[in-house]
Amino acid sequence: MSVVIYEKKDKIGYITLNRPEAMNAISSEVLNELTKAWIDVRDDPGIWVAIVTGAGERAFSAGADLKEIAKWQLEAEKEGRPMRPTWPETIPMRGLEVWKPFIAAINGIATGGGLELAMTCDLRIAADTARLGLMEVKQSLIPGWGGTQRLPRLVPFGKALEILLTGDFIDAQEALRIGLVNKVVPLAELMPTATDLANHLCENGPLAIRAAKEAAYRGVRTTLDEGLRLEGLIIGNLFQSEDVKEGPRAFAEKRKPAYKAK
Show which residues are catalytic.
116, 136
Distance of CA 203 to the CA centre of its chain: 21
What burial class does residue 162 get, using C-beta atoms within 10 Å of its C-beta: 0-12 exposed, 13-18 middle, 19+ buried? middle
Q: Which amino acid, 87?
A: W
Would strands 59-61 and 109-111 be described as parallel, antiparallel, or unpaired?
parallel
In order of 64, 132, 161, 162, 165, the CA distances from 135 in angstroms are 11, 9, 12, 11, 9
Q: What is the DSSP string of 97-164?
A: ---S-EEEEE-SEEETHHHHHHHHSSEEEEETT-EEE--GGGGT----SSHHHHHHHHS-HHHHHHHH
